[in-house]
Structures are given as C-alpha cells and as structure tokens.
Amino acid sequence: MSISPFVLAQLATQAIELPSWAFGNSGTRFKVFSTPGTPRTIQEKIADAATVHQHTGLAPSVALHIPWDKVGDYDALRDFAGEHGLALGTVNSNTFQDDAYKFGSLTHTDAAVRQKAIDHHFDCIDIMHATGSQDLKIWLADGTNYPGQGDIRGRQDRLADSLAKIYDRIGENQRLVLEYKFFEPAFYHTDVPDWGTSYAQVNALGERALVCLDTGHHAPGTNIEFIVAQLLRLGKLGSFDFNSRFYADDDLIVGAADPFQLFRILYEVIRGGGFGPDSPVAFMLDQCHNVEDKIPGQIRSVLNVQEMTARALLVDRPALTRAQDAGDVLGANGILMDAFYTDVRPDLAAWRESRGLAGDPMAAYAASGYQAQIAADRAGGTQAGWGA
C-alpha cells in the first residue's frame, strides 16, 4: 500500500502546535538537567520552534504559558513570531505556582483567591487579543490529598462559577478549553479529573467552551480513542495535548511509548470529523524533554503524529464498514491492522522532498549546525525552565 495523492492532500493541511515550554529545561522532582543552547527568553524559544517548522513544515504555531512567557509588548512578540514564520497559539494559564493557590485556585473557598485566579485568566485573555490566539487553555492543579480535606461538591460549584466569569470575558472568536487530569499534584481527588467532568463544566458554559484531551492524563488501560469518539460525537473535543507515557504523566515524545495507541486515536479523530482545515480540533504537543535534545525531540514528535495520521488515513473505511456490518470480526480487525502496519516513511520522505523539505528532517537538523550554534551563542543568562 502506498500513500495516494488524496491522502497526501489531506496530510498537507496538518498543523501541530508546539509548546514553548518544550524548549526550556525540564526534569523530574529529582533533577532538572541543563542543556547547552537552551533558550533564555521567549524569543529564543520561538526561534527554536521556527527551526522545527522549517525542517518539517508541520508546526506553524507555538503555544505560550503565562507567566513563563510574559513580555511587555505582545504585539511585538506576535510580529517577532511572524518574522520567524510562526503564529502565536494557545495561551496556557498558570494557577499552580503561587502560594495563594496552595488549597486551590478557581475552586478555593476564599473568594479573594478565586478572584485572583479569575483575574489571571482575564490577563491571559488580554494577551490573546494582542497575540491573535484562539484558545485559552485551563489546566488546574486544584484538588485534595485526604478524604474530608475539602468539600468536593462545593468545589465543583465554585469551579462552575469561576469558569462562567472567565467564559463571559472571552472574545467572539476565542475559545476556552478545559483540560482534565486524574491525579497530580493532588492525589485523593482532582477537581477536573476526567473527560466527563470537563464535559459537564464546559457544557454549562456554552458553545465556545470545549474539552482538552491530554493523552497522558488517563489511568493505565484507559481506552482513549473511545473518549475521542464520544467527545467528537458530542461536538465538544476542542484540542489535544499530545505526549506519551509509560506510567503516569510522563510527557514523553508522542508515539514513543505506544504508537499503536496514537494510531487508534488518530483513526477515531479522522472517523469523527476531527481532522482537516474545517475541523475545530486543535492538535498541540504538551511535552518535556528531560534528557534528549529539545529541538530534535520536537521534530521527532511532529513526525510521529504525521506518520500515524498517514497510517490512519490509509484505513479502507468502506471495506471496514462492510466487514463490521457483516460481523466479520477478524476481517475488520485485519483491515485496521493492515493500515497500521504500513510503513509510510519512504513515501512521506519523498513527498517532503517534492515540497522542498528534507526527506529526513532529523538528519537535516543534525547536519544544519543549529545545535552547535545556539550552544555557542547562548552563553550566560538564565536558561528557561520549569517555572521560568
């Protein structure tokens, strides 16, 4: 099976947003290793993200995290990104690194703390107007560690109230996406632990409030593609945070741990109308590179998404439907597996070359000298990293 022009035309529309924080240093609670050439400013992060896009043609926008990427002039930042061939994308709020939020942010019992968190989101919305960003992404660290520590029901009600105030403030062309995560940093209960809670909360807000599905935020064994199918069916899948995991919220390179799962997810995305220029679903990475170089880590990631998308687009859907309707269990499974087992890499390399890109972006980046250049240029200053 080789990739048809029809499939290539669909792939040509694919855009995957990079997270600015993927270019900063990250690590575990045991150690954050620094890497020569790590950006010190958001401008340097944008330059690195632009390098990923130059090599792959797949990553035309970069997501910001506020206050990590705070600057004085967002119009200028937007222009700077534009000069590098990038748009500024999703704005991620941050209500998890201030002492005031020790016992919650949008769910806090103290109205003053809730207002502080709401005001932070208002600031993010102002930034979005300047950057031209479409999505405000909210991920909350809110939750409790012990049974009885908090009033679970009261926290849900306060969350609904806070979200309504934020939603009222977003512009007509903007969206609010609410991310869920089943644990960490709270361990007994999390205030937005699952897609159902996120769905219930955004559904109460309105049309432009949607669910963000981070692939790393599920219990082992969860059938994530089922959630994708259901949210698309309900018209409430707003965005993906792609990454992969072996155990928990590992934030590893998407497709690295379980490429078959990524294929299954992307098949349901395509099946459910979530892929293509008219789709409301935003593809974003949410990853950290603890021990590998960050730019090639991001290049590998977007290529993985592209490769699994190509395989998912190869599924012979009419034949699959016929087999499913005929109760042909193994025939249907075989049709799906045929597409998954197709090595699309040679065809994609040739296609890239036909579009003026390197056939092997990983090799082209390694040969470009960019890594050595930034290591030499970015001497001194404070490297960006977790919390900066």
Burial class (CB in 10 A: 0-12, 13-18, 19+), 280: middle
Closest contact distance (angstroms) between CB of 251 and ligand PSV is 6
Residue 92 near which of Mn ion, ligand PSV, none (CB within 5-8 Å, type-dependent): ligand PSV
Q: How far apart are CA 337 and CA 334, in angstroms?
A: 5
Question: Which of 214, 225, 251, 268 touches Mn ion (CB under 5 A)?
Answer: 214
Part in contact with Mn ion (CB under 5 A); list of ranges 36-44, 96-104, 208-216, 315-323: 208-216
Question: Which of 98, 123, 249, 250 touches ligand PSV (CB under 6 A)?
Answer: 249
Q: Is 135 in the site for Mn ion (CB under 5 A)?
A: no
**Beta bridge partners of residue 239, listed in sequence order:** 212, 282
Question: Which of 69, 241, 268, 307 touches ligand PSV (CB under 6 A)?
Answer: 241
Question: Which of 53, 55, 108, 181 touches ligand PSV (CB under 6 A)?
Answer: 181
**Beta bridge partners of residue 284, listed in sequence order:** 17, 241
Question: Which of 54, 92, 239, 244 touches ligand PSV (CB under 6 A)?
Answer: 92
Part in contact with Mn ion (CB under 5 A); list of ranges 46-54, 191-199, 241-249, 289-297: 241-249
Write the interaction track for ligand PSV spanning residues 205-224; mark x where CB under 6 A is met and - where it is not: ---------x----------
Q: Is 179 in the site for ligand PSV (CB under 6 A)?
A: yes
The residue among 166 and 313 lying less far from ligand PSV, judged by its C-beta, is 166
Residues of the shown chain interacting with Mn ion in the complex, contacts defined by CB under 5 A: 214, 241, 286
Residues of the shown chain interacting with ligand PSV in the complex, contacts defined by CB under 6 A: 92, 139, 179, 181, 214, 241, 249, 286
